[in-house]
Amino acid sequence: MAETQPVPKINAVEAVDPVLIDKSVEFINNAISKTLYKGNLEIGKYLLEHFYNNDIKLAFSRNPHKPVSFQKLCKRDDLGVHPSTLSRMVKVASQERYFIDSKTNVEELSYSNRLEFTKLPNSKKKLKLVEKCIKEEMSFRKLSEAISKINEKTKGVTPLPPLKLMSNVDKLFEGTQLPALLSTPDKLERLRSTTRTQMKERANTLLEKMNSLTAHCNTLIKTLDQIDEKEEKEKEQKEKEKEELRVKREKEIKEMTEMIHANVKEAEIKEEKEKKEKEKKEEKEKGK
């Protein structure tokens, strides 16, 4: 009968390696990003070639009357990708062609950042920001802020104070209601096909903007929470340091007081000793 191998003992408590977990999350996210980026870029290139005839300007154009075939493609019920996502893929693919023509190396640029760059027109200013983004390893949030500032300057818009800006956005949503026409099928059926297509595209654009606004609001809340947490920690640290300083001073005062008492007692003992020696000496002299 073959000998059975001893079963290794498993410790009930396993040490957690946070460094390993962080590296694993980074590896998984990067692998997913590479896979998604490759697939998105392939789809974008295919659409740019077959539906836009590799016309970069047409792909970036906001003209609602884009190739009819592309509009028909977006209407397919069995399409596994949202039409707005397809449009973004086309823009990224056409931007990639511009980068290649400009001899700009964008291998280290993430897909999310490439997508964000489509908000800028193809120009030298965009290429300079691409180089800066790669060199400084800019996060998506930081890049998004930089692009927003560029667009604001281009449009000549003076940024409003944060609370005023949020108040304006809040008023916009508060005063916006969905008219009955936009949700009544029988009325929508009377519209022309081209009008319904334009409405759908604008609705998708609104959704994109709302999703973007939601993402920015979530980022804002997270950032404000982090600031509050940081201030709270700094406040606790100051209170801790203040308490430590108070305890230290009390200890120093106590030690100083004890030292003074010890010195006084030592002086009294010395004085008493000298007094006794003097008296003894005087008695001795009288005896003579």
Highest mean pLDDT among 152-156, 170-174, 275-279: 275-279
Q: Is the dihedral of CA 106, 109, 110, 112 positive or negative?
A: negative
| Displacement of CA 207 from its chain's centroid (Å) | 22
Extents of the domains making up the chain: 22-157
Altogether, the residues listed in the chain come to a count of: 288
Q: Is the pTM of this model over 0.75?
A: no
Average pLDDT, integer, range 53-81: 74
Average pLDDT, integer, range 124-145: 88
| Displacement of CA 70 from its chain's centroid (Å) | 35
Question: 93 is written with which tokens?
Answer: 């693919």
Question: pLDDT at residue 77 above 50?
Answer: yes
pLDDT band for position 65 (cuts 50, 70, 90): low
d(CA 252, CA 258): 10
Average pLDDT, integer, range 202-208: 74
Residues 52, 21: contact at Cβ < 8 Å? no
Percent of the chain with pLDDT over 90: 3
Which of residues 94 and 6 earns the better pLDDT score?
94
Question: pLDDT at residue 105 above 70?
Answer: yes
Q: What digits encode the pLDDT tens for the residues 236-279?
A: 999 999 899 888 888 888 888 888 888 888 888 888 888 888 88
Average pLDDT, integer, range 96-100: 89
pLDDT of residue 209: 74
* Contacts made by residues 166-171, CB under 8 angstroms, sequence distance 24+: 169/213
pLDDT band for position 162 (cuts 50, 70, 90): low
d(CA 181, CA 77): 23
The b-or-e profile of 47-70 (16+ CB within 10 A means b, else e) is bbeebbeeebebbbeeeeebbeeb
Average pLDDT, the chain: 78
Least confident piece of the model among 31-40, 82-91, 264-273? 31-40
68: helix, coil or strand? helix
Average pLDDT, integer, range 78-91: 80
pLDDT band for position 128 (cuts 50, 70, 90): very high
d(CA 159, CA 202): 26
Which of residues 201 and 242 earns the better pLDDT score?
242
Question: pLDDT at residue 152 above 60?
Answer: yes
Average pLDDT, integer, range 220-226: 86
Residues 126, 80: contact at Cβ < 8 Å? no
Question: pLDDT at residue 222 above 70?
Answer: yes
Least confident piece of the model among 173-177, 191-195, 196-200? 173-177
pLDDT of residue 1: 45
Question: pLDDT at residue 5 above 70?
Answer: no
Q: Residue 93, class by beta-carbon neighbours within 10 Å (0-12 exposed, 13-18 middle, 19+ buried)?
A: buried
Question: pLDDT at residue 100 above 50?
Answer: yes
- Exposure of 36 in the CB half-sphere (CA atoms within 13 A): 14
